[in-house]
Structures are given as C-alpha cells and as structure tokens.
Amino acid sequence: MSETILVLGASGQIGSELVIKLRSIYGVNNVIASDIRFSEELAKDEAPFEIIDATNKNDIKNVVLKYGVTQVYQLVAMLSANGEKYPEKAWELNMTSLFNVLELAKEKLINRVFWPSSIAVFGPSTPKVQTPQETLMNPTTVYGISKLSGEFWCNYYFEKYGVDVRSLRYPGIISWKTKPGGGTTDYAVDIFFKAIEEEHYNCFLSENTRLPMMYMDDAVQATIDLMQADASNITIRTSYNLSAIDFTPEELTLEIKKIIPDFTIEYNPDFRQEIANSWPQTIDDSKAREDWNWSYQFDLELMVKDMINNLQSSKKAESSKL
C-alpha cells in the first residue's frame, strides 16, 4: 500500500536523516518534512516541507488534510539536559506534541504513528546491565518522566482506541550530518567534531561513564523496520528496548586515537554526569529481536571509522567551496 508520511521534527538530529531514507523508499513527494525551523536541505528541489509548530494541533491537522497523510513520525522533543533547565517547557512540548498526533490517529485521520522513547525512562533503581524490557523504571529527569508517561499514553490509545502507535527506546544516537542538541549522550557526537577540528575534547562526563549508544544508520533502520512490521508482530505498545553498542568516553577515545593518534581528552563532569549515572549501561533488546527481527550493523570500530571518514570528507568539501 502506498503511504503518505509526515515527519514532525524533521530538522532535528534523527529527522534530518530519517526523511532522506523514507524519501528513498516512498518517493520524495510522499514524505513531507516539517519542523518549526526551516531546513533548506530537506526542501531542496521543491521537496515538500511545511513549517509546523507541533504543539498546535490545527497546524498538524491542516498539513495532514492537505496531503492526505497516512502515517506520522512525531520526533519533536526537548532532550534530557535542556529539560532540566526548562522543566515546564519540556513537559509542555513533549506531551502536547504527542497528544496532538495520538488524537489525530484516534480521529482516524492517520492510521499509524511512530514516537520515540528513550533510555531516559529508566532511573537510578533500574538494573544497569542488560536492562530488561520490564523492570523498575523511576526516571529522575523531566525528559525521562515525559517519555515514560508518553509510553503509557501510547499504550492507552492503542488499548482504548485501537491507535496503531509504535515506539522505540532509543539509546544515545551518533551521527555526523546533524548534531543533537541538549542531550546527555551528545558528548559522543561532539567528541568527533572536536577531534577533527582541534584534536582535543573537554568531556562533560567522566571517563568511566558507560552508556548504551547506536549509530544513526542503525537507528533509522530500526525505526523503518518497526513501522513496516506486520501489526500482528508488535507485542509491545509502550516502547521497545533497543540496543547496539555501549562504551565509556575513555574507550571511545582509544578508538578515535587509532585514526587520529594526537587526539587528547580531558574530563570535567558537569550536571549531566548525574543524569548519565541514573541511566542503564547496556540494554536487553530481545523483544525487538524476536518480534521484528531487529539486529544492528555498526559496532564501535565501524562506527568510529565511518564518523571520521564522513566528517573529514565534509570538511574537505567545505574548504574547497571557500
């Protein structure tokens, strides 16, 4: 069946790459990118792009009706570190943007929804190693509270109204095209930019902070696999644990030094350390593997090579433009 897809939050870290992949599958004109910020890249060659404030249900509804949208990927959110700075704004943004889309699905204007959850749903009392799908949660960040509440709302809309909403608990996502903003796992992206630019990084987490992570290519693949899976295979309507690699800043540094030997790092943990300490180190994603055959491609070594190659090539391309 042909789909018309709307991606909310398309200018962000995940959206900017997900839109490109979705357009290669469904056709450029069948994937409408939207964000409160315009993206020249996603609108080029007259590709559909709409400015949408995802907290405004009518803004979304108008675009859904204009294009006959069948599926929405709702990626708008304020991440963990910024959420601690602006708690009310984070709650309002994260919950309202989700409700708006769930309501449109309840009204049967769209028939499938993707909404990302996060490892931030777990808290200090959660088992840290191979964290199970079902376990003690007790999140301690505003972001984590909004994601865990959102998960239950997704499940509620599925159970009560039959809304086909699907979700993944993303680990930290590493990418070179668009940087994340305001998260705790952002160090694992920033470190590469600094390694290329200055061969030095001032890390805001301590050297032994192990966190679950994933390369963007795998995150995009997981998202599309989940959305394309037969509804009868989806047994979890809160959100699936999803896992790929895990490492500490020290281990990541050693891997980067294999390619950039002069790279150095210093550690100056700030308020984000406490957030990282409250999260798991590794995740058990066996339900995703069982239900829709999830597996990842990029291990630590491959991810580091690909990041550095891409960043070096884009730096060369930039400097040849000057």
Cβ proximity to ligand SER, 185 vs 221, nearer residue = 185
Cβ proximity to ligand SER, 143 vs 201, nearer residue = 143
Alpha helices (H) in 5-141, listed in sequence order: 13-26, 40-43, 57-67, 80-85, 87-106
Query: Residue 303 Cβ, how far from ligand SER at the closest point, in Å?
Result: 15
Query: Residue 188 Cβ, how far from ligand SER at the closest point, in Å?
Result: 9
The catalytically annotated residue of 67, 73, 86, 143 is 143
Instruction: Output the CA angle 10-13-16, nearest 5 degrees.
Output: 40
What is the distance in angstroms between the CA of the first residue and the CA of the last residue of the chain? 46
Structure tokens at 111: 């028939």
Query: Residue 83 Cβ, how far from ligand SER at the closest point, in Å?
Result: 8
CA 103, CA 100: separation in Å to the nearest integer?
A: 5
Cβ proximity to ligand SER, 143 vs 240, nearer residue = 143
CA 142, CA 193: separation in Å to the nearest integer?
A: 28
CA 136, CA 132: separation in Å to the nearest integer?
A: 9
- Contacts with ligand SER, residue ranges (CB under 6 A): 79-80, 118-120, 143, 170, 172, 183-185
**Active site includes 161?**
no
- How far, in Å, are 45, 57, 174 from residue 35 at the CA level? 18, 14, 21
Cβ proximity to ligand SER, 113 vs 120, nearer residue = 120
Query: Residue 173 Cβ, how far from ligand SER at the closest point, in Å?
Result: 6
Residue found by looking up tokens 């050693």 in the block: 254
Query: Residue 41 Cβ, how far from ligand SER at the closest point, in Å?
Result: 22
DSSP 124: T
Cβ proximity to ligand SER, 72 vs 211, nearer residue = 211
Q: How many residues does the chain have?
A: 322
Alpha helices (H) in the chain, listed in sequence order: 13-26, 40-43, 57-67, 80-85, 87-106, 142-161, 187-197, 216-228, 249-257, 272-277, 286-292, 300-321
Q: Which of 46, 43, 53 is nearest to 16 (CA)?
A: 43
Cβ proximity to ligand SER, 48 vs 212, nearer residue = 212
CA 80, CA 145: separation in Å to the nearest integer?
A: 10
Query: Residue 120 Cβ, how far from ligand SER at the closest point, in Å?
Result: 5
Contact 247, 95 (CB under 8 A): no
Residues belonging to the active site: 143
